[in-house]
Structure 1
Amino acid sequence: MLVVGAGLAGLHTARLLAARGLEVLVVDKRRSLTSGVRTTGIFVRRTLDDFDLPAHLLGPGVRDVVLYPPSRRRPIRLTSDRDEYRVADMPGVYAHARERAAAAGASVLLGVRYDGGAGDVVDLHGYGALRARFVVGADGARSRVARDLGLDVNRRLLVGAEVVYPVRGCGGPPTFHCVLDPRIAPGYLGWVIEDGRHAHVGVAGYARHMTRGVRHLLDEFAASAPGVGEPAGDVERRGGPIPVGGVLKRLACPRGLLVGDAAGAVSPLTAGGLDPCLRLSELAAAVTTAYVRSGDVSVLRQYDGAMLRTRFRGRLLLRRAFGGLRSPRAVEAAVAALRGPGGRALASHVLFGDGSFPDVGDHDGRPVPSTCVTPRAAGKAGCGP
């Protein structure tokens, strides 16, 4: 078994496969898991409840979200009675995931690039040719594995950029600031999340509308972003593409399958991908194991992107609507509509709700009949659409 990509999706899938007794090799072109981090690392409450994440690598809980219109006047503050978000030390999380994968029996090689292949032979730059019975593509939004296997590829992408730096304290409760302004983030938003330990300041949007470039827009936004404290250490830059077209329909074939960003397992509206990547990885590991052991191609039908995609219908519609707001005046009016009871309820449902991605495993890698939810997730998410 070859897993291409040592991000969270690839390492989680590799650990589950190795724990089932399969021989697993993970490769990643990066020489260090501390380099090339692309995600803010925001874990939502549902993920924190359902998965065993290393608490010492998670920041304080965030309960407050503030939504700003382009004018920055009359922002909307939403407060939950529970911790809704925690921002992770993602290099540390990757290192922890690598250790767990290795402890389960998977081999992880860094500095080895996947160069494609034919049939069951793949070329690995820095390693040589390798015979792999099955390939798991966890190689990001622009997956080469997906193209080589003839599977679907992401076509609707945002591009994001972010600066991260330590702070001495935010002087108030940890808060997630979201600025909706098509001049700096067309089709998405600018964000600041400061939890008293680190500040994350970023922007994302459709590249075709970012005529001045995402890095220029980020620097411009960071100069006046709300809730920003002074850096108390080195500033790190992150960035990369974000797939927002929903889970891809064709995710598997007899030669391999896709997980994480490569599979489009990202919320179309919020662009959150950490929870979907973990849940989809569990289904991927269960299906892969059953297929490799039985040789029954029909098993792969369980890894059905079209079925999973139905869960995103509403968010896909909201994505199209939000992406169509091109002028600051239109966004200002949209935010004004959220100030009423109905609008606040909708915003709270999106930001604090549990319905993002269907639960497809028991968080130890064993499949659940009919891909229904597990008992401890019951009441949070339903079966099917």
Structure 2
Amino acid sequence: MDVLVVGAGLAGLHTARLLAERDLSVLVVDRRRSLSSGIRTTGIFVRRTLEDFDLPGHLLGPGVRDVLLYPPSRRDPVRLTSDRDEYRVADMPGIYEHARGEAESAGVRIRLGARYLGRSGGVVLLEGAEPVAARFVVGADGARSTVARDLGLDVNRRLLVGAELVHPIASGTTAPAFHCVLDPRIAPGYLGWVIDDGHHAHVGVAGYPGAMRAGVRHLLDEFAADGPGRAAPVGPVERRGGPIPVGGVLRRLACPAGLLVGDAAGAVSPLTAGGLDPCLRMSELAADVTTGYLRTGDASVLRHYDGGALRARFRGRLALRRAFAGLRSPAFAEAAVGAMRTPAGRWLAARVLFGDGSFPDVDAHGYSVAPVAD
């Protein structure tokens, strides 16, 4: 086998499909027995992703143009309205099944219920499946990647922890909107959010775990009881959660034995904690580099998958991440939202929330392989 992909999330399945389309033999393994279990993302796709990638429209909710930024008091939010659909919330179990179908159609084999244990004697050991021999391993196994440690690559060290409730709402009872609350009492270093698309509501909080002394689940339940823009559930409530890397793309992402994609690679915006757009963009670069390396055997090809180069746009985001982390009192958070009411503050907030740039800027450091000859 050419490539073993560990992790059947969006990054893993997208990378696997691209590799199979380049005539490589690919196996995806995931410790979960169902792709609908263990979902950790809200599933918010931003406009630039919707424009650049062919996502199934029937699995996306209606467009969201309004963002409301609330201070801890929850009074007098700052409303930002775009003249374009900026966000759409996806049915993530459906998105994963769609990505699985596309990968399998390209020739990818997928084995669920198989946990990656490591490499030994030229083979990869799996719990729940027979060992497999693979020339290359792609780690798409999340923020606390076992593959990264096993390959001696960099690991995520700056993490938020998030939790979310998802529930259906009565159709027509709300207008699609994205509500964000800056309140260090319930989300130290990040925010609480409520986003609905007219069909489902997502209510969540995230923050630095060391500062969430009451526990993320308790804080989520507290926020869900009085969060803004809340609509009453009309069906079962689903809980999601997990770690979110916010240190930016890791520097050492690849070695002759494998590379990292998605959360395992730190492919998440340090500022907004959004990871769906960067995971798709980095997966395309990763597939090109992997293909080039396996075709030629030239390890220098792996230098094109360089986290250091991809961090070029980090400075501003990391500075704002540090500012987020410094908002440890409600009074400071109240003042920060107040500053967003000024023309400069509104411009900066709109640039962050409605920006046209991508993170990381993969196009500036791209690598293309020659097509396979017929």
TM-score range (shorter-chain normalised) is over 0.9
For 1:132-147, what aligned pairs fall within 5 Å after superposition? Answer: 132-147=134-149
SS at 1:345's partner residue? helix
Report the CA distance between 1:119 and its aligned residue. Answer: 5.5
Partner Cα separation in structure 2 for residue 356 and residue 370 of structure 1? 13
- Look up the match of 1:306: 308
Runs of 4 or more consecutive aligned structure 1 residues displaced over 4 Å after TM superposition = none
Cα deviation code 1:81-126 (max 9, x no counterpart):
0000000000000000000000000001111110112363110111
Conserved 8 A contact 2:304-2:367? no
Q: Is the 8 A contact 2:162 2:205 kept in 1?
A: yes
Choose from 126, 129, 138 the match for 1:127: 129
Instruction: Find out whether 1:320 has 2:348 as its counterpart.
Output: no
1: CA distance between counterparts of 2:367 and 2:116?
35
* Aligned counterpart for 1:231 among listed residues 230, 233, 245: 233
Task: Report the equivalent of 1:274.
Answer: 276
Larger mean Cα displacement after TM superposition, 83-92 or 171-180:
171-180
Please tell me whether the aligned partners of residues 311 and 360 of structure 2 are also in contact (alpha carbons under 8 angstroms).
no
Aligned to 1:349: 351
Runs of 5+ unmatched residues, structure 1: 362-368, 374-385
Structure 1 residue 371 corresponds to structure 2 residue 373: no
1:117 has 2:125 as partner: no
Question: In 2, distance between residues paired with 1:170 and 1:116?
Answer: 50
- 1:293 is matched with 295
Q: Name 1:381's counterpart in structure 2.
A: none
- Return closer, same or farther for 1:212/1:370 CA change in 2, 3 Å cut-off: closer
Q: Is the 8 A contact 2:285 2:367 kept in 1?
A: no
TM value normalised by structure 2: 0.96
Output the amino acid matched with 1:348: A
Match of 1:377 in 2: none
The total of aligned residue pairs comes to: 366
Cα deviation code 1:271-308 (max 9, x no counterpart): 00000000000000000000001000000000010000
Is the partner of 2:178 in helix, strand or coil? strand
1:325–1:158 distance in 2 versus 1, CA, 3 Å: same
Q: Which amino acid aligns with 1:194?
A: D
Task: Please give the residue correspondences for 1:48-87 in structure 2 after superposition, counting only pairs within 5 Å.
Answer: 48-87=50-89
Amino acid at match of 1:66: L
Alignment of 1:65-214 (within 5 A): 65-118=67-120, 120-169=122-171, 171-214=173-216
What do you get for the CA RMSD once the two structures are aligned?
A: 1.3
| Structure 2 residue identity aligned to 1:295 | G
Contact 1:359 1:372 in 2 (8 A): no
- The equivalent of 2:371 in structure 1 is none
Unaligned runs of 5+ in 2: 369-374
**Identity score, percent:** 76
Cα deviation for residue 171 of structure 1 reads: 3.3
C-alpha deviation, 1:360, in angstroms: 3.5
The 3-state SS of whatever aligns with 1:185 is coil
Measure the CA separation in 2 of the matches of 1:370 and 1:144.
27
Paired letter, 1:371: G
Q: Which residues in structure 2 correspond to 1:258-269 (within 5 Å)?
A: 258-269=260-271
Q: Name the residue aligned to 1:245.
A: 247
Secondary structure of the residue aligned to 2:226 is coil
Does the residue aligned with 2:186 lie in a helix, a strand or coil? coil
